[in-house]
A and B are shown apart, each in its own frame.
Chain A
Amino acid sequence: MDHLDQLENDSVYIIREAYKEFKDIAMLWSIGKDSTTLLYLVRKAFYGHVPFPVLHLDTSYKFREIYAFRDRMAKEWHLNLVIAQNKDALARKVGPDAGNKLTCCGELKTEALKQAIKEHGYRAILLGIRRDEHGIRAKERYFSPRNNQFQWDYKNQPAELWDLYKNTESAEEHIRVHPLLHWTELDIWMYIQREKIPIVDLYLAKNGKRYRSIGCEPCCSPVPSDADTVDKIVEELKTTTISERSGRAQDKERAYMMQKLRSMGYM
């Protein structure tokens, strides 16, 4: 097996563990490259099926292209798509311009997820985060508990030995499962290239710019790039000196913002 095969097999193992041990699970699909790769791996693990709901936390501020891609793939891959919105916050006009970004991410993403978990009773949630995205995410476990306040007790995480993952949760908790934790950005793109996984074309350069990381339109900036195909993105990433999330506002608003967001339940 080559490197991509190893990554793929380790992820498939984790996905199957989560499904077997927790049953009432859902996966978060941000429609970005990572969670779309995760969705592809889920279909691989279950022979073309996606045997649990696919959850989109819709802040209503996503790119038009994201919504179009979501609806097209949901149909094509027969997804049980659950769209979660914090309707109350949206009615209060919470957004990136009103108030600070910590509040906006917290209300429209974390709170929306809280509501969805409460409503549907999911015991575990699959997410496509990776260690190399952010130093805080690098500290994560594959199976990571959150309490009922959604808090991540990052100072006292349970031990995780070999591939013997946490398979119980107390009534107060849900488990975050991270099957892509060990992938890098370059791995993801090489895998997308090899497997021909469909992606939102915001990642491809237009007029000398492309998005390396996508989320809500007001808080994402494109980076200079001429990579207008997946092949060119792979080449670009082999030599870049700019970090992946340099265009993401919530990572740098102020020191430790990502840590604060995550300790409160952010992804």
Chain B
Amino acid sequence: MEDIPLKLVITGHVDHGKSTLIGRLLFDTGSIPEDKIAEIRQICSALGKEFEFGYILDNLEEERDQGITIDTTQIFFTSKKRPYVIIDAPGHVEFIKNMITGASQADAAVIIIDAEEGVREQTKRHAFILGMLGIRKVIVLINKMDRVGYDQKRFTSVKKAFMDFLNEIGLDAVHSIPISASNGDNVATKSASISWYNGPTFLEALDSFDVQSTFQKAPIRFVVQDIYNFSRRIIVGKVVSGTIRQNDTVTVLPSGEKTQVRSLEEYLKNPDFAETGKCIGITTADKVFCDRGYVFSDPPDMPAVTRQFKANIFWMDTIPGKKGLPIIFRCSTQEIYSKITAIHTVINSSSLELMGLDMDEIKNREVAQVTITTENPVIIEPYTKTPELGRFVLVRDNVSAGGIITEVLL
């Protein structure tokens, strides 16, 4: 059995059955404590309802009263193959920032579609956002098959319509499965009512999902979080790419100073290397100037030090983003004032309709291709090269937009 959990986000239009699906999956795999089931049974009977699987996740009073998910939630479960973190994302357009919060933590995604209603606004928007966040492979579930008499033709037509959309945005559906979450058809067990379908159940599809492995041979990227001076000077940060070793020669960016890793510092340990994902302390052979936001790298393959780049951003603030107005740019531990200096294209994230070229502002829930200019040089890379140095947020009081760097401009 594998030990690292796969983080999976469940997305789709409001009321297409995300929370019900997760509740069903947990119930059918015996993952819910007995006292929890008893509690939900009690609440449902008090409300005069049938056992509601969605209640396992929708814990807020408002969520249960209205039958919708307001905020993203995470729940843990283990199949015979491996552990999972299941992230439920709200499907209502109002809560899109909560959906993005959930999806940004995921390794893989599921998109669920109501067989009766077919592809709707949030179905497309969610798929589009997943693509923007760097997720390429998804499992598509066509739900509520019981409501359409388990009709194969209906399944095929909903599936086809959605595949066309996925193709357009470059997402790959590894499986498309007809299910009924409330009845349990093809969730954890094969459905007798859908004999025309020979593929895997949802649970089997999950277990066959390949998790992306991290690239330990990738070039070194160590981002500096802080400098400690408890007893001596230790530079602390996180290895976001590659493996850093004692005695490695590294280049400190943005200054470009070269030095050697004298020691790697971990409390009560003496490691001689630190791999991707490790939070570690470093002492250097030379007294280099260094601060939060600096990045250690190794030539020749180094990130860019530049003030300008192209990016795709998703706006999630009711106050529009305006060209030329100062806004805080944050990427890993770097934080600096910036300006959107050009808004090349603005797209409606659901219809994919082009709203305009060379615009002056970007509105809530729109996606734009922009050029951003920072006050001072930042250390960045395209998202596809090093995700941690290629993804960013734009901040006013709270996060106004999330973005992915597509091209570094020198």
Chain A residues with CB under 8 Å of chain B are 1-3, 5-6, 9, 12-13, 16-17, 19-20, 43-49, 51, 131-132, 134-136, 138-139, 141, 154-155, 157-164, 166-168, 170, 182, 184, 240-243, 246, 252, 255-256, 259
Contacts and interface: CB of A to CB of B under 8 A. Distances in A.
Interface string B1-39: 001110000000000000000000000001001111001
Contacts of A139: 59-60, 71-73
B75 interface: yes
A6 B392 CA distance: 22
Nearest to A1: B277
Contact of A20 (B59, B101, B292): B292
Contacts of B297: none
A136 B101 contact: no
A68 to B, nearest CB: 26
Given A139-B71, A252-B39, A159 B4 contact: no
| Majority secondary structure, A binding face | loop
Interface string B301-336: 000000000000000100000000000001110010
B83 to A, nearest CB: 8
B398 A158 contact: yes
| Majority secondary structure, B binding face | mixed
Given A1-B277, A16-B279, A246 B226 contact: no
Contact of A16 (B30, B73, B226, B277): B226
Given A9-B238, A47-B265, 15 more contacts: A1-B275, A2-B4, A3-B3, A5-B278, A6-B4, A17-B225, A19-B226, A47-B231, A135-B57, A135-B73, A136-B59, A138-B75, A139-B60, A139-B71, A139-B72
Given A47-B281, A49-B230, A135-B59, A157 B225 contact: no
Given A13-B238, A139-B71, A164-B330, A20 B60 contact: no
Ranked 4 nearest A-B pairs via Cβ: A135-B59, A243-B33, A159-B97, A158-B398
Given A13-B225, A158-B398, A161-B402, A184 B267 contact: no
Interface in B69-104: 70-76, 83, 85, 97-98, 100-101, 104
B205 interface: no
B34 A241 contact: yes
B183 to A, nearest CB: 24
Contacts of B43: 255
Contacts of A158: 97, 398-399
Contacts of B279: 9, 12-13, 16, 45
A167 B292 CA distance: 14
B393 interface: yes
Nearest to B59: A135
B375 interface: no
Given A166-B398, A170-B397, A47 B230 contact: yes
A182 B102 CA distance: 13
Given A2-B3, A47-B234, A259 B61 contact: yes
Nearest to B335: A167
A251 B281 CA distance: 41
A236 to B, nearest CB: 13
A5 B271 CA distance: 14
30 contacts: A1-B278, A3-B83, A12-B279, A16-B279, A17-B225, A45-B267, A46-B230, A47-B230, A47-B267, A131-B73, A135-B57, A138-B57, A139-B59, A139-B60, A139-B72, A158-B398, A159-B398, A160-B101, A161-B100, A161-B399, A161-B402, A164-B331, A164-B399, A170-B397, A182-B74, A241-B34, A242-B35, A255-B43, A255-B61, A256-B61
B236 interface: yes
Nearest to A183: B76
Contact of B5 (A3, A13, A162, A166): A3
A162 B391 contact: yes
Contacts of B3: 2-3
A19 B234 CA distance: 15
A243 B36 contact: yes
Contacts of B277: 1, 5-6, 9
